Amino acid sequence: MEWKIEKARKLKPVYKDENQIGFGKFLTDHMLIMYYDREKGWYDPKIIKMSEIKLSPAALVFHYGQEIFEGMKAFLGNDGKIRLFRPRDNMNRFNKSARRMMIPEIDSEFVLEGLKKLLFLDKRWFPKKKGNALYIRPTIIATEPTLYLKPSDEYIFFIILAPSSGIYGLKELRLYVEDKYVRAAIGGTAEVKTGGNYAAAFYPSSLRKGYDAILWLDSREGNYLQEVGTMNIFFVEEGKRLITPELDGGVLPGITRDSIIKLARSKGYMVVEKRIPIHEVIEKTQNGIYTEAFGTGTAAIISPIKEIFYKGENYTFSFSSNLRNEFYEKLLNIQFGIEKEDFNWVETVE
């Protein structure tokens, strides 16, 4: 198979002010698309102008939510080069999500080849400021028109691009520890990026007005920390150790999470992945043992956490250490090609 390119005849005007791009507000000129049916497998891969998709109202995705997505970023360096950050890890996770949701897997190498062509074609949409990026959203939806409850025999795969800044900016987050609702279940779909997980979090989030994000506890005992909003969470213990929830099936295995763990260890910091009961967080924050906390994710990058609200009380971090800033700078420098790394995380497009 080969990517067919049908260039848009007319290009859209690019955003005027890079400080106003927001997150996912503007879509670029082109998209990547490919189809699947049980007999043919994946077929007709092409890059076309950004356009609407026409579906039957009976398409399975509308009724039973059979869909998966990914979130990754590409960066334009001062040297004019486009860089992808750990794209193969995103593709592997995408295929892992596909297996869980009974969606046919894609050929990572082939899709990456198409993605690179797409990025090159829409290069004029790249923001330049450190912290901004071109956000990449690969998605697969079940399109077979039937109300019968079964995995679809037809799918559409697409990738769309949106210039984006970090979702929280530099804001220090206030968290609400959720002790009634859960984000997604262990043994369910908590570990994979599928739409229903995010739709199910809207309602609990709407109840916690005045807070920036929810600190989710595990679905079995309502005791162990999982994630914050749609980010993984880290605590800094005594300014020198990183503590983060282990991947217990209720946590999305973030690539930013993994990058921070590897960077921290390479710099000589100790990193502990373990089950973290909420009472331990409260105690260690109150006693000043946890000096900092932050959330990590591709969309959010690394967001500092100011305080957590639990059972009527606020607990505030002292910020007597500054590991968040250290990792934030390091990560962006790697992504923008300013600093070299030994992990082979960065892939140049041209």
Ligand X SMILES: *Cc1c(COP(=O)(O)O)cnc(C)c1O
Shortest CB 179 distance to ligand X, Å = 19
Provide the minimum distance between the beta carbon of 116 and ligand X in the complex, in angstroms, as a whole number.
20
Residue 45 lies near ligand X (rule: CB under 6 A)? no
114 binding ligand X? (CB under 6 A): no
Which of 71, 104, 127, 250 binds ligand X (CB under 6 A)? It is 71
CB closer to ligand X out of 152 and 303: 303
Nearer Cβ to ligand X, position 193 or 284?
Answer: 193
164 touches ligand X (CB under 6 A): no
Selected from 116, 193, 208, 324, the binder of ligand X by CB under 6 A is: 193
87 contributes a contact to ligand X by CB under 6 A: no
Distant-in-sequence, close-in-space partners of 320: CB < 8 Å, separation ≥ 6: 239, 288, 291
Minimum CB–partner distance for residue 196 and ligand X (Å) = 12
In angstroms, rounded to a whole number, what is the distance separating the alpha carbons of residues 102 and 84?
A: 28
- In the complex, the smallest distance separating the C-beta of residue 309 from ligand X, rounded to whole angstroms, is 20
Told to check if 68 binds ligand X by CB under 6 A, we report no
* Residue 284 touching ligand X (CB under 6 A): no
> Does 252 interact with ligand X (rule: CB under 6 A)?
yes
Measure the CA angle with vertex 344, ends 339 and 348; round to 5°: 75
Determine which residue in the list 28, 97, 205, 230 makes contact with ligand X, applying CB under 6 A.
Answer: 230
Structure-token pair, residue 103: 């969606």
255 binds ligand X (CB under 6 A): yes
C-alpha–C-alpha distance, residues 243 and 215, integer Å: 15
- Applying CB under 6 A, the site for ligand X has a residue count of 14
Nearest to 316 by CA among 284, 348, 342, 341: 284
Binding mask 285-304 for ligand X (x = CB under 6 A): -----------xxx------
The yes or no reply on residue 256 touching ligand X (CB under 6 A) is yes
**Residue in 172, 162, 209 with CA at minimum distance from that of residue 307:** 172
Task: Kindly tell me which residue out of 231, 242, 263, 293 binds ligand X, with binding defined by CB under 6 A.
Answer: 231
Q: Which of 254, 310, 331, 346 binds ligand X (CB under 6 A)?
A: 254
* Candidate ranges 35-43, 228-236, 237-245, 307-315; the one touching ligand X (CB under 6 A): 228-236
232 counts as binding ligand X under rule CB under 6 A:
yes
Residue 257 touching ligand X (CB under 6 A): yes
- Site for ligand X contains 335 (CB under 6 A): no
Q: Using CB under 6 A as the criterion, which residues of the chain lie in contact with ligand X when the complex forms? A: 71, 193, 227, 230-232, 252, 254-257, 296-298
